[in-house]
Amino acid sequence: MKKIVALLFLVCSAAFAQDDYIFLKRAENVTIEYNKHQFNIKKDVSQVGKYLTSNKLYFSNEFIPFDSFTKIDNIEAYTLLPDSTKKTVDHIETKHEFDNGIFFSDQQLKNFVFPGVTKDATTHLSYTETVSVPQFLGVFQFGSFVPTQEAAITVNVPKNVELGFTGFNLEPFGVSFSKTETNNGVTYNWKANNVRAFRGSENSLPVNRYLPHLILYIKNYTEGGKKHNILNDASDLYKWYHSLVQQISKEELKSVKSTAEKLASGQPDTNSKAKAIFNWVQDNITYVAFEDGLGGFIPRNAETVVTKRYGDCKDMANVLYEMLNHVGIKAHHAWIGTRDRPYSYKDVPTPVADNHMITAAIIDNDTIFLDATDSYVPFGMPSAFTQGKEAMIGIDANNFVIKKVPVQPKELSKASVKTTASLNGTDLLASENRIMEGYEKVEFIYGYTYKKETKTNEEYLNTTLKLGNNKTAYSNIALGDLEDRTNPFKLGFDYEINNYAKLVGNKIFVNLNLDPLLTESEINIEKQEFGKKIEHAFVKEYETIFTLPDGYKAVSVPEASVFEDVLYGFNIQYKLIDNQTLALHKTVYVNTLEVEKEGFEAWNNFIKSLIKANKKNIILEKIQ
């Protein structure tokens, strides 16, 4: 038997030979007990890691997350050195996971460092997690950020409790399943071997779209011959959510109502009233996230939020709910998962399915999704990170509807760029005006507000727009109204690029494709593990009017370049208006929110075609 185990380890070590650290085993043993209207849920968690090299010893820094719904006990952690010496962890620190000015959370960490780790050392961790709320049974991931040799979970339930579970990506990774019934209950087992590492990147689709994982939940229990639902389906989840909303403090809403009345007064129609209220919440309530026990699920009283002028997503949604309904506009609380939660309420009728709250307003028989946590999104457009996601809209105590937030068409996020350009010797002189709408506007204003930091306007435009080359100098910058929610955002500036044109003999070569849009977006197919994420669909239209230098004529003007696809494309046209003026008309569009791996090559062909088209020069020749 020892020879078989040793051989198996050699095989697995060979499979992970390129890795520095792996999990030899990760396991959970979940026991659910029910007695006298009370659940007792415990998870015995264990993991063993191995350092195959000394390159990443920082993995010795370990943490165990917990919050108001979980309790951690019986922690045992130690390092086993190659010579079998055992070094026990002797200090465990408890600290908050989030500690900044815009996020208050009850999520905490048990943090410690495995001592003495070195090549061929193994680290051992075990602990017991007690879950106090049956709706939060949790998720088990068969994969991790490093390879896992063996991952297993066992769930034990009494016969009067029905377990629900939904697996994702289990079959491709050979996750086995067995179910055993005894007189006392039912035992469920899942196991996987040799699961590769899962590491996402900033521009990739969420890892849980691909990661083999299991979402567990308690469907119901039977007591006294009667079945009681916990999370049998989405209706049970909604009933629980509604019960939490009913716990909102019942303080008087004097300021809420008077503010809503003032905002609605004089507005010509329902749409205008709703817009005025939405914009006021965007402007006057500062987003500060809270996760503190059930307080992370129960909105605070709207009067408190309006008075203190800050709140989290559910607080802002509730303020909108109260204000809109007070002035006669039907509005509802709506629970929703952002785009990094790839679940439907049908498949996952648990709190894992969502992580956000918005408001659904009914105006002219249309559902308008309002998310005031996005301070710049225009009224009528959802936040970009909720596009395409299901919203659970509460109607009353027993009724709800599930509606998908519509993906916004590319035409609503449009940027129009008009440029006049000329040459002074080989220096390019240009004046540009940009008009941005929809998410294009939101993206620019958000970046300028939160990412500019100590940069000057000139430095920020240079690093953000990247027009021409790194020699570009900006001047006469005219920023539009950053607070205007209604109209497109306008940005104007002049810029100069020294030695931009190339003078060869009596000819000048000049490129009028000044904006490098998307040219750095080619996907590294070998390294990109998961699909590409795109924040929003868009259209960008360019019109560049170039005045030829005196004494020169255009002897070569590029042919049109066109790439047409349903998902993305471009159209570049050149036109000689007269002997001294040449126009470039260019449209680039992206009409999708993601590119899966099977579409990488097509996307790269699009990007390569755009880069090739962008490199085309006009050729001017000195008139003899």
Report in angstroms the alpha-carbon separations of 155 from 24, 29, 86, 243.
Answer: 21, 6, 31, 28
* Mean pLDDT on 139-143: 97
The enclosing domain of 55 has a CATH number of 2.60.40.3140
Residue 339 falls inside a structural domain: yes
Residue 5 falls inside a structural domain: no
Q: Residue 253: what residue type?
A: L
| The pLDDT of residue 11 | 39
| Residues 434 and 479 occupy one common structural domain | yes
Cα 384–Cα 388–Cα 390 angle in degrees, nearest 5:
115
pLDDT digits (tens, 9 = 90+) for 213-262: 999 999 999 998 999 999 999 999 999 999 999 999 888 999 999 999 99
| Residues 253 and 164 occupy one common structural domain | no
| The pLDDT of residue 97 | 59
Task: Give the CA count within 13 Å in the CB-facing half-sphere of 176.
Answer: 9
Cα–Cα distance between 545 and 575 in angstroms, integer?
10
- Residue 399: domain span: 236-407
| Residues 104 and 167 occupy one common structural domain | yes
| Residues 247 and 226 occupy one common structural domain | no
The enclosing domain of 520 has a CATH number of 2.60.120.1130
Enumerate the β-bridge partners of residue 141.
Answer: 213
Q: Residue 67: what residue type?
A: D
Q: Residue 277: what residue type?
A: I
Residue 1 falls inside a structural domain: no
Confidence of residue 6 (pLDDT cuts 50, 70, 90): very low
| Residues 375 and 516 occupy one common structural domain | no
| Residues 508 and 616 occupy one common structural domain | yes
Residue 458 falls inside a structural domain: yes
The helix (H) or strand (E) run that includes residue 155 is strand 148-158
| The pLDDT of residue 12 | 43
For 247-284, b/e burial (b = at least 16 CB within 10 A) is: ebeeeebeebbebbeebbeeeeebbebbbbbbbbbbee
| The pLDDT of residue 262 | 98
Q: Are strands 289-291 and 103-105 parallel, antiparallel or unpaired?
A: parallel
Is the distance from CB of 114 to CB of 79 less than 8 angstroms? yes
Q: Which of 140, 135, 133, 127 is nearest to 64 (CA)?
A: 127
Q: What's the chain's length in residues?
A: 624
| Residues 178 and 32 occupy one common structural domain | yes
pLDDT digits (tens, 9 = 90+) for 505-550: 999 999 999 999 999 999 999 999 999 999 999 999 999 999 999 9
Q: Which of 61-70, 93-102, 589-598 has the lowest mean pLDDT?
A: 93-102
Phi (first) and psi of residue 173, to 5 degrees: -110, 15
Is the distance from CB of 594 to CB of 530 less than 8 angstroms? no
Q: What is the pTM of this model?
A: 0.92
Tell me which of 175, 201, 230 is where a domain ends.
230
Q: Look over the chain and give the mean of its residue pLDDT values, rounded to a whole number.
A: 93
Cα–Cα distance between 300 and 278 in angstroms, integer?
18
The enclosing domain of 284 has a CATH number of 3.10.620.30
- Integer-rounded Cα Rg, in Å, for the chain is 30
| Residues 401 and 292 occupy one common structural domain | yes
Report in angstroms the alpha-carbon separations of 192 from 6, 212, 437.
Answer: 19, 9, 48
Confidence of residue 17 (pLDDT cuts 50, 70, 90): low
Q: Which of 313-317, 359-363, 450-454, 563-567 has the lowest mean pLDDT?
A: 450-454
Q: How far is CA 197 from the centre of its chain?
A: 21
Instruction: Please name the residue ranges forming H helices in 327-436.
Output: none
| Residues 222 and 274 occupy one common structural domain | no
Residue 362 falls inside a structural domain: yes
Is the distance from CB of 142 to CB of 152 less than 8 angstroms? no
| Residues 107 and 185 occupy one common structural domain | yes
Residue 4 falls inside a structural domain: no
| Residues 358 and 422 occupy one common structural domain | no
Give the pair of three-digit tokens for residue 68: 């108001």
* Mean pLDDT on 343-348: 97
pLDDT digits (tens, 9 = 90+) for 454-499: 999 999 999 999 998 878 999 999 999 999 988 999 999 999 999 9
Residue 588 falls inside a structural domain: yes
Residue 552 falls inside a structural domain: yes
Is the distance from CB of 386 to CB of 317 less than 8 angstroms? no
Q: Which of 422, 437, 550 is nearest to 497 (CA)?
A: 422
| Residues 398 and 423 occupy one common structural domain | no
Q: Residue 326: what residue type?
A: H
| The pLDDT of residue 124 | 98
| The pLDDT of residue 15 | 55
Tell me which of 230, 247, 282 is where a domain ends.
230
Give the chain's domain count: 3
Confidence of residue 8 (pLDDT cuts 50, 70, 90): very low
Report in angstroms the alpha-carbon separations of 261 from 100, 251, 273, 327, 378.
Answer: 35, 18, 9, 7, 22
| The pLDDT of residue 471 | 80
Is the distance from CB of 188 to CB of 162 less than 8 angstroms? no
pLDDT digits (tens, 9 = 90+) for 587-620: 999 999 999 999 999 999 999 999 999 999 999 9
| The pLDDT of residue 98 | 52
Sheet holding 93-96, edge to edge: 61-66, 108-113, 93-96
Tell me which of 389, 407, 425 is where a domain ends.
407
